[in-house]
Chains A and B, each alone.
Chain A
Amino acid sequence: MIHTDKLTKTFVVKKETVEAVKGVDIDVAPGELVAFLGPNGAGKSTTLRMLTTLLRPTSGTATVAGVDVAADPAGVRARIGYIGQGNGGGHSFRVIDELVMQGRFYGMNSTDAAARAQELLKSLDLADLAKRTVIKLSGGQRRRMDVALGLMHSPRLLFLDEPSTGMDPQNRANLWEHIMRMRAEHGTTIVLTTHYMDEADSMSERVIVIDHGQIIADDTAARLKSNLAGDLLAVEVAADSASGVRGLLGRAAAGGEVNENSYDGVVRFRLRLTEGARLAPALLQQMNDAGAPAQSLELKPPTLDDVFLELTGRNLREGAAR
């Protein structure tokens, strides 16, 4: 569905050349749900805008839905849907008018466009607002309208740029429900950008981590986490027996760091443990055998934030590039 080869974008800002995207290679198969994850300014949106022909690549090639973005941008646009960061509805227009016209822009006839608009209004809980002007809609309603606009022509490939930024949790869940339903019904290929790691984690099957304009990881969220981060294990033992397990825990961490702090006669060890849930019972047994039984244990599965930290040494949220 998508194939890029060394896709690059440089901007000239105040006579200074900024390399926003540095030669990315992306392959997305039909039906995949892929998230571009990275801090603000990492190059996610720029990549997306090149794939949707809203920006011209500086170098490299991209084929989207079978069409080359440089050779036939209009052909690409006819085959994809795009939901941008802003609100797509014109302020003074009525909701229903914008939807129908959007369908007409994509070559639908008026009957089909009207029927499709009604269908989407209903499934996105906008039916009562059809004749409202866009400016009178709430933020959540506008975002749902953006989704309706993007789906009017039932694209096989849908791009979403930061779809849920600024939404409250309920509206976010609601939005995702609609996107997932559409995907289940039509097998739509979905590519989205997000800087919410939990969203990338729970919603996408595949996460492409982008930082400083480069792809630094590309895998399922589960594999990224288990390969790169591992579970965070914290065990506490009595201070007088701590020396007996230091070596043991060091070997379990497999070269990783073991943090240690003591308080109230207890020593607390913290380490990363790949496949921690599976290995922890045996480790506890070994600690018992070594004469230092664990007094408490905490096992936290890794997040994509941990993955990002592992990859870049920075936290995803504080790590805004540049």
Chain B
Amino acid sequence: MMSVQTTLDVLKKPGLGQVLHDTRFVFWREMLLPLRDPFSLVFSLLQPLVFLGLFGPLLGAAVGAPAFGGQSTLQWFLPGVVVMIALFGTSMTGSNLQYELMTGSYERILATPLSRSSLMIGRALKEWAPLVVQGLLIALVCIPFGFVFYPLHVLFGLVILGIFGIGLGALSYALALVSQSKEWIFWGVQQTLLFPLMILSGIMLPIEAGPDWMKTASLFNPLTYLVNAERELFAGSVGTDTLLGLLAASVTTAVGLVIGIRTINRNLN
């Protein structure tokens, strides 16, 4: 029987130092994939630019400037795109795991002394890492179009997304384990959850323009706080929204890791 206490023991036992140490290697192994095949990185850089270039102008024209609180459409929309990339990337953490579950690769790694949380954190961070490059690049590209770039704020925003990504990645990892040998379940759940969460956070369109029930629903969505934090940071200020975003990210990570480790350990039975 797996109680919360034993879960905490499992989290504590390897020690934070050990987890960080192990995470480095798990992360590095995963990073070898894109590094050995840099072409995949080029495409991942192009995608957000396409999105920004095609969706941004439509958004401004369709919704109208007042909805964005006086900011330029770009200043409002760019942080949303960054959150969206983080969301898509880290929620895929489990999909790469699925292949390794089918061969003996996951089992081989499970048999090494690596701590269980490092397996999830390392993999989640690999999905997050390209975002650092993507985020900075699209920010730079947007400067000529009236985007004001605050590098330190944006970097801090990316770190918050990294924290959130670990939590979401761990959940995605757990989902892959649960849907083992039934891959369609993974995709079904991931897609079914992703889009409502995204729309109900105001990533793509301002939630303020929606009906009251949507606004209420968005308050229960951790992504809402994350997007608000990113918007505040990308606008060059640090305040309550940032703090709430950091809190939402931390809670997501704590919940994600506990669920992830419990799922890994349940597979031992």
Residues of A bordering B, CB below 8 Å: 52-56, 74-75, 77-78, 80, 82, 84-94, 97-98, 101-102, 104-107, 146, 149
Contacts and interface: CB of A to CB of B under 8 A. Distances in A.
A90 B105 contact: yes
Contact of B105 (A53, A88, A94): A88
Given A101-B25, A101-B29, A86 B111 contact: no
B180 to A, nearest CB: 13
Nearest to A11: B269
B112 A56 contact: no
Nearest to B101: A86
Contact of B28 (A91, A94, A98, A101): A101
Contact of A106 (B29, B33, B105, B112): B112
Contact of A74 (B29, B108, B115): B115
Nearest to B35: A97
B69 interface: no
A274 B190 CA distance: 65
A175 to B, nearest CB: 16
Interface in B104-151: 104-105, 107-115
Nearest to A149: B108
Contact of B103 (A75, A82, A91): A91
B111 A82 contact: yes
Interface residues on B, range: 20 to 34
Given A77-B113, A88-B108, A98-B29, 18 more contacts: A54-B107, A54-B111, A55-B268, A55-B269, A74-B115, A86-B108, A88-B104, A88-B105, A88-B107, A89-B108, A92-B33, A93-B29, A94-B32, A101-B32, A105-B112, A106-B112, A146-B108, A149-B108
A264 to B, nearest CB: 56
A77 B112 contact: yes
Contact of A97 (B32, B109, B112, B115): B32
Contacts of B110: 54
A102 B112 contact: yes
Contacts of B208: none
A102 B112 CA distance: 8
B12 interface: no
Contacts of A105: 22, 25, 109, 112-114
Contacts of B33: 92-93
Q: Most chain-B Cβ atoms within 10 A of its Cβ — which of A77, A80, A89, A104?
A: A104
Contacts of B111: 52-54, 77, 80, 82, 84
Given A56-B268, A94-B36, A97-B32, A86 B114 contact: no
B25 to A, nearest CB: 5
B125 to A, nearest CB: 15
Nearest to B24: A104
A298 to B, nearest CB: 44
A74 B13 CA distance: 10
B104 A84 contact: yes
A233 B184 CA distance: 59
Contacts of B36: 94, 97
A165 to B, nearest CB: 12
In the complex, which of the residues A75, A88, A106 has the most CB atoms of chain B within 10 Å of its own CB atom? A88
A146 B104 contact: yes
Given A77-B111, A88-B104, A91-B99, A104 B32 contact: no
A242 B104 CA distance: 60
Contact of B100 (A54, A56, A74, A90): A90
Nearest to B18: A74
B14 interface: yes
Contacts of B14: 74
A87 B101 CA distance: 10
Given A56-B268, A56-B269, A107 B113 contact: yes
Contacts of A101: 25, 28-29, 32
B162 to A, nearest CB: 22
Q: Which of A55, A88, A90, A104 gathers most chain B CB within 10 Å?
A: A90
A106 B113 contact: yes
Nearest to B13: A74
Interface string B22-45: 100100110011001100000000
B56 to A, nearest CB: 34
A87 B104 contact: yes
Contacts of B114: 105
A82 B268 CA distance: 16
B107 A84 contact: yes
A80 to B, nearest CB: 8
